[in-house]
Structure 1
Amino acid sequence: MEGKLFLKQYLIWVMILLLGQLHGYKSCILKERNALLDLKKFLISTTEGGQSEPVLPTWTNDTTSDCCQWERVKCNSTSGRILELSIRGLNLKESSLLNLSLLHPFEEVQSLDLSESKFGGFFDGAEVYKSLSRLRNLEILDLSSNKFNSSIFAFLNAATSLTTLLLQGNNMNSPFPAKELSPLVKLKFLDLSGNGFSGSMELQGICKLKNLQELDLSQNNLVGEFPLCLTVLTGLRVLDLSSNQMTGKLPSSLANLESLEYFSLFDNNFEGFFSLESLANLSMLKVFGVNSRSNSFQVVSEGSWKPKFQLNAIALWSCNLEKLPHFLLHQKDLRLVDLSDNNISGQFPSWLLATRRVASQG
């Protein structure tokens, strides 16, 4: 009887195994499971005292537990290798250092989320500056809202497989690392906002990143004129340079950025005249905003030109506008129009309200 029971259990186990293979699913590999447990042990050692919630409770020593089913982990269903890993938002000690060697076993990882965890840097032994190069498949790295300083860029140079780098909100308050990112030629999405970077708006390093689609440098202290080299990045869909210390005139070569959908230039010190007609051929543009702290900046929109774009939102506050831009007559998708604090006089045109009504009904 016991033999029949054993045989039945064996057959069930074989069937489960075969079904798993037919569906292309494998549990996580032992090497990476052990690496996750080592990482957990390290994180517990750097956690603030008195934390009420356990750290990563599903990451367990129970040998029957499949680490591909653990929280914050996603595996390749065929190979069982870890593809995505998140230790976001852990209550770690202020400015903790992350041991990068703990991540080396995850050789196929594509996405790492280390955000909102108070990390202040990395430590890693002799190969410290090449450590990220061992993660050859890493495409997405989120280091936002931590305590990193500008020394982080010496590590990031080696992560040449990256397509997305999120470093916003680290408040580095240091000179802008203009050339440090130039080796990351595969980058498509780069967010360096909210870091208090100082120095020149000279962006030659970033302007070499020909694959960039989204660039956010807002909420820094960068000075100088609009970087002309940015206008060669014709694949840019999002460009946010708001809340800096930029000066001078806005160039007519903005017309080259034909892929732009979102364009924000708020809260700078621009001067001179800026013609909205220079944006006329940006057929993808959906959101545009500009203003200046300088009283010598003036936005103009002459004539009855017709743009190729259909905006969802436009904000031109404190731009010394004297006339309502006539091109708004052609905008049927508007949801937001902000023309506050300007010098527009005369009767408010009913056609703008009619345009808004059409948009709201659509």
Structure 2
Amino acid sequence: MLLTFLTSVGQWYGRCYGCLLEERTGLLEIKALIDPNRVQGELSDWMDEKEGSGNCCEWSGIECDNSTRRVIHLSLKGAYDWSLGDWVLNASMFLPFKELQSLDLSRNGLVGCSENQGLCELKNLEQLVLAENNLHGSLPDCFRNLSSLQLLDVSRNQFTGNIASGPLPNIISLEFISLSNNHFTVPVSMKPFMNHSGLRFFSGDNSRLVTEPMSFHGLTPKFQLVFFSMSNSSSEDLNVETPNFLHNQHDLRVLDLSQNNFIGMFPSWLLKNNTRLEQIFLSENSFDGALQLQDHPNPDMITIDISDNNMHGEIPKNICLIFSNLLTLKDG
């Protein structure tokens, strides 16, 4: 009985005003580093108990677990004071947050990261958002240790490298991947993600698609995507047909393959296979043939863009019967 009481006292001793003292101290150190002067900044309510609420669980951008009172969500989106100059992130400052599940560092002008291992030791991390910074180089190899990661958004940075040789193929827990507007190289077969059975969302606009040996083209992925976008990701010397893995996708809602150099007959099978498709963008490719519709109706379809291809023939007369809620059709 006494041991149980002392253990409980020890657990609560480290808590201060509803959150762990170690984590509260860590948060105040983060504020001192990235937003020390602004009174009206994103972190304006991050204050010690002498100035305001000492309960860090009530601060903006913070969410704590109801039982442990540990920080599980930390958003520093747009929190950095840009007048301080470029921010090189010291990732070790996140080490106190041992149960952190979600971390948002977007829109902070980050130019680099030291002590990457600090991020990679967050074993419970499920969501990591690094979008809209100025990060460059390859994705940190230690990201492969983030075995619980479900969402990764590194869009709008300066990252480089072939996705196939980076850490992402090892993170099979991923469900949401956004790589758009970087300088990544992405295999057209999507082979690096064949074993990601939970993958639903993939965005890689403005990347560089590359081909692989024919033996990779017949692979069947374990995932069923809802959203797939790879617009403006092809070079003039890449003359390939629609990515073969899409033959195995049956749950797509949004598909964007516009502004590439895909060739061959118009992939009418995309419409037939994906009965809940809502938006399809295939403009500025080199598809031939005529627009052929499936037999079954799809009331979810609202946008079709097949403009700027080599297609011919008239629009099927029954298009409004098949797509009864169609709002936009571009075929010029």
> Structure 1-normalised TM-score?
0.75
1:353 maps to: none
Name the CA shift for 1:38/1:263 in 2 (closer, same or farther; >3 Å): same
- Unmatched 5+ residue regions in structure 2? 1-16
Offset from partner CA, 1:144-174 (integer Å, 9 cap, x none):
00111133332422222100000100033x3
Q: Distance in 2 between matches of 1:72 and 1:305?
A: 47
2:69 to 69, 80, 86: 80
User: Aligned runs of 1:74-153 on 2, under 5 Å?
Assistant: 74-89=63-78, 90-92=80-82, 93=84, 95-124=86-115, 128=116, 130-153=117-140
1:210-248 deviation digits (Å, cap 9, x = unpaired): 221000011223344898478624421000011111531
Against the structure 1 CA distance between its residues 34 and 132, is the aligned structure 2 distance closer, same or farther, given a 3 Å change threshold?
same
Using the size of structure 2 for normalisation, the TM-score is 0.81
Q: Displacement of 1:38 after TM fit? A: 1.4
Q: 73-82 or 270-279: which moved more? A: 270-279
Q: Does the alignment pair 1:317 with 2:275?
A: no
Secondary structure at the counterpart of residue 243 of structure 1: coil
Alpha-carbon distance, 1:36 to partner? 0.6
CA distance in 2, matches of 1:327, 1:147: 49
Residues in 2 aligned to 1:158 and 1:30: alpha-carbon distance in whole angstroms: 28
Shift of 1:250: 1.8
Aligned match of 2:280 in 263, 284, 288? 288
Q: Report the counterpart of residue 257 of structure 2 in structure 1.
A: 265
In the TM superposition, residue 114 of structure 1 has moved relative to its aligned partner by 0.3
Give the counterpart of 1:177 among 148, 163, 171. 163
**Closer, same or farther: CA 193–94 of 1 in aligned 2, 3 Å:** farther
CA deviation vs aligned residue, 1:176-229 (integer Å, no higher than 9, x gap): 332311121100000000113247545432333222100001122334489847
Distance in structure 2 (CA, Å) of the matches to 1:155 and 1:94: 27
Structure 1 residues 281, 118: CA separation in 2 closer, same or farther (over 3 Å shift)? same
Q: Per the alignment, do residues 326 and 39 of structure 1 end up closer, same or farther by CA in structure 2, a change over 3 Å counting?
A: same
1:282·1:308 contact (CA, 8 Å) conserved in 2? Answer: no
TM-aligned CA deviation for residue 79 of structure 1: 2.0
1:136 Cα deviation (Å)? 1.7
1:44 Cα offset (Å): 3.9
Matching of residue 330 in structure 1 with residue 322 in structure 2: yes
- Cα distance change of structure 1 residues 189 and 336 upon mapping to structure 2, 3 Å threshold: same
Report the Cα distance in structure 2 between the residues aligned to 1:203 and 1:331, rounded to whole angstroms.
30
In structure 1, the partner of 2:197 is: 210
- Residue 69 of structure 1 is matched in structure 2 by 58
- Which letter does structure 2 place at the counterpart of 1:317? S
Tell me the distance in 1 between the aligned counterparts of 2:66 and 2:99. 13
1:251 and 1:339 mapped to 2: Cα distance? 22
Q: Describe the SS at the equivalent of 2:162.
A: coil
Letter in 1 for 2:30: L
Q: Which has the larger radius of gyration?
A: 1
Q: What are the superposed Cα offsets for residues 261-280 of structure 1, whole Å, 9 maximum, x if unpaired?
A: 11111000112212314530
Partner of 1:16: none
Q: Answer yes or no: is 1:239 the counterpart of 2:231.
A: no
Task: Note if contact 1:116-1:146 (Cα within 8 Å) is conserved in structure 2.
Answer: yes
SS in 2 for 1:247: coil
SS of 1:314 mapped into structure 2: strand
The alpha-carbon deviation at position 42 of structure 1 amounts to: 2.1
Distance 1:252 1:133 in 2: 34
Q: In 2 relative to 1, CA 290–283 (structure 1 residues): closer, same or farther, beyond 3 Å?
A: same
Q: Verify the 8 A CA contact 1:94 1:120 in the aligned structure 2.
A: no
8 Å CA contact 1:186, 1:209 repeated in 2? yes
- Matched residue type, 2:21: L
Please say if residues 56 and 71 of structure 1, whose CA atoms lie closer than 8 Å, have aligned partners that are also in contact: yes
Q: What amino acid is the match of 2:253?
A: E
Asked if 2 retains the 8 angstrom alpha-carbon contact of 1:280 and 1:309, the reply is no
Q: Taking every aligned residue pair, what percent have the same amino acid on both sides?
A: 26
